[in-house]
Every structure is written in structure tokens, then in C-alpha cells.
Amino acid sequence: MSHGIGVDISFFLLAALAVYTGWRVFCTDSMVRASFFLLLSFIAVGAIMILLTAEYLGVAMFFMMAVEMMVMALFMVMFMMNPAGLNPMKMVHQERAAIVAGVIAFTVLSAVAVFSGFPDAPLPAKHAPVVSLGLEMLGDSMLIFESAAIVLLATMIGVVVLSSHRGRYGAADVGSMPPGLAPDGEPAGQPQNEDEDDDEGGGHAHHH
């Protein structure tokens, strides 16, 4: 594949950006910022795909990762104690072993990249990547494509099953009650039950 010097320069800039932002994901204090660094890394890789003339994949990567990382940032805000990075944070375990594993993976894969001989079969000169991908997906590889759709459907069902088994205030099969506004107080936002004794002290364990 022949390309100009501009493509080379942009490739090296984008590669440096992808590696740098990928590394920053794991050493920034703010988890929201970490998800945006990961988004930047994905966008750099998507731009490299466009440089490689895989336009459809590159653009799909932009759209998919933009949405995915927004969801990830949202989850960070929901669950993590330190989404904004106001405190220094280092939540790691077995860090030494992890660094060794990462370096070994990089070394082995780089050795494969440098020392093995891959067939040299570049893209043909008159090549329409998007058209050929579309014809492939709706032609010979349609079964694979449709299987991916079925697996995604199964994933959606599985996600709903996993995440909606319990209600907001506890398991669904014991009756869910919202917590009181004060400790041991009446449940918030619920209509009062008339036939219930007042001196019961707010114990609502036996609701039906």
C-alpha cells in the first residue's frame, strides 16, 4: 500500500496519542477522566483505521465508543466514591505482578511483530472497502453476522434478568419498602396504612 509522508506523520502522532492516553487511564485520579482518556485512545485507533482505508470500521468505532464511554462515565459517577478525582487515588492490587505480565505480553507480541514473516499482500489499487464489507455481511458471511445479532439479543435479556431481579429497596419477593426519612421512621412516599397500630414504632417488616 503506497501512502505519502503525511499519512506516516499522522500515524505516528495518533499512535503516540493512543498509547499515552491508554496509559493515563490507569494513573489518573479521576475515574471519569479515566473513561475519557480511554475514549481518546479508541478515537486515535479509529483514526488509524481510517488511515488504513477501513472507513466504515473507523467511523463505527467513533460512534460506538463515544456512547460507550459516556455510559462508563455515568457508572463511575453512580458507583465510585471518588469520581471527580478530588483525592489522590491508587486502587490497585498485585501491581508488581500486573506490571510484569503487561511487559511480558508486550515483549512477546512485539517479538512476533518484529521477527515473524507475514505475507505481503497489500490492498489492491481499485478497492472499495465499504462496498465489499457490505456485500460480505449480507452475502457469504450472513450467518456469522446474524449470529452476532442473536448473541446481542441474548445479552440484552441476560442483562435485564441480572439487573432487575431486585427492586429498588430490596428483593422483589419480600415486598420492597423505601427507607424512612429519619432512622426507623415511616417509609418515605408511601400511603399510610389505616388499620396499623401507631405504637408499633414504625416496624414495617410484616407488610403484605
Partner 1 sequence: MTLMTLLLLAAALIGIGLYGALSQQSFVMLMMGLELMLNGVMLAAVAFWAFSGAGTPEGQLLTIIVMAVMAIEMAMGFALVVAVFRAKQADMTEALSELKH
Segment 124 to 163, residues that bind partner 1, using CB under 8 A? 124, 127, 129, 132-133, 135-137, 141, 144-145, 148, 151-152, 155-156, 158-159, 162-163
Per rule CB under 8 A, is residue 68 in the interface with partner 1? yes
Contacting residue, 13, 70, 84, 110, with partner 1 by CB under 8 A: 110
Give the angle 32-33-35 at the CA atoms, nearest 5°: 65
Site for partner 1 in 16-45 (CB under 8 A): 18-19, 22-23, 25-26, 31, 34-35, 38, 41-42, 45
CB 36 within 8 A of CB 55: no
β-strand partners of 167: 170
Q: Which three cell numbers stand for residue 47?
A: 483514526
Locus of grid cell 467511523: 59
- Which 3 state secondary structure label does DSSP give 160? helix
Site for partner 1 in 168-197 (CB under 8 A): none
Minimum distance, C-beta of residue 200 to partner 1, in the bound complex (Å):
28
Cα–Cα distance between 15 and 207 in angstroms, integer?
Answer: 61
Contacting residue, 29, 33, 53, 178, with partner 1 by CB under 8 A: 53
Contacting residue, 13, 84, 146, 166, with partner 1 by CB under 8 A: 166
Measured from the CB atom, is 120 or 198 closer to partner 1?
120
Site for partner 1 in 90-109 (CB under 8 A): 91-95, 97-99, 101-103, 105-106, 109
Query: How many C-beta atoms lie closer than 10 Å to residue 63's C-beta?
Result: 10
Minimum distance, C-beta of residue 197 to partner 1, in the bound complex (Å):
32
The residues near 54 (Cβ < 8 Å, ≥ 6 apart) are: 129
Residue of 12, 17, 19, 22 whose CA lies nearest to 51: 12
Contacting residue, 29, 56, 175, 180, with partner 1 by CB under 8 A: 56
Contacts of residues 5-10 at CB distance under 8 Å and 24 or more positions apart, as own/partner, are: 7/51, 10/47, 10/51
Minimum distance, C-beta of residue 66 to partner 1, in the bound complex (Å):
13
Measured from the CB atom, is 176 or 186 closer to partner 1?
176
